[in-house]
Structure 1
Amino acid sequence: MQLEILTPEHKVFSGDVYGVQLPGVEGSFEILQNHAPMVAALGVGKMKILKDKSNTETYQINGGFVETLNNKTTVLLEGAEAVSY
């Protein structure tokens, strides 16, 4: 699945991924390959990029929107900060 994550200031991420976990306004959800088309509002929380089944990147986000269509997911965020563990 192709994933692109953008803020007003810069491109946070662009590339092929296994999936992405996002904080929706009514609860967290995950988008994987062949997900049904959708548009959803995002809340404040952690976004996890699943690069493959064992490698991830996590960001603290401040809300935004996500659109997925034809195995391409675009995330538009107000802000994103990398979280390291």
Structure 2
Amino acid sequence: MDLHCEIVTPLQVIYDEPVGMVQVPGEKGSFTVLKGHAPVVSVLSEGTIRVIGKSGHEKLFKCKSGVVECKNNKMVILIHE
């Protein structure tokens, strides 16, 4: 099973695809999530979310604050843009 990433704002889902890697601005520092990552829940700080899709294409999303949960290769990121 691939790592699946969903990025949600208060208004809409802005990203919902399988990915190769996601890097997020955690409250205590940036961290990267790959397939098979241990379960994690973290508060996000202001910064940039970097997503590398399955094709290798990079997408960047601005984040003012938010929360991320990753469990069983499913990553849900709730952000304020």
| Aligned AA (2:30) | S
Superposed displacement of residue 19, structure 1: 1.3
Poorly superposed stretches of 4+, deviation over 3 Å: none
Match of 1:49 in 2: 51
Question: Does the 8 Å contact 2:24/2:31 carry over to 1?
Answer: yes
Q: How many residues align?
A: 79
**Structure 1: distance between partners of 2:12 and 2:35:** 25
| Aligned AA (1:32) | L
The TM-score normalised by the length of structure 1 is 0.88
**RMSD (CA atoms):** 1.1
Superposed displacement of residue 11, structure 1: 0.5
| Aligned AA (1:55) | H
Report the identity percentage: 33
| Aligned AA (2:48) | K
| Aligned AA (2:23) | Q
Match of 1:82 in 2: none
| Structure 2 unaligned spans of 5+ | none
Q: Map residues 54-65 of structure 1 onto 2, 5 A cutoff.
A: 54-65=56-67
| Structure 1 unaligned spans of 5+ | 80-85
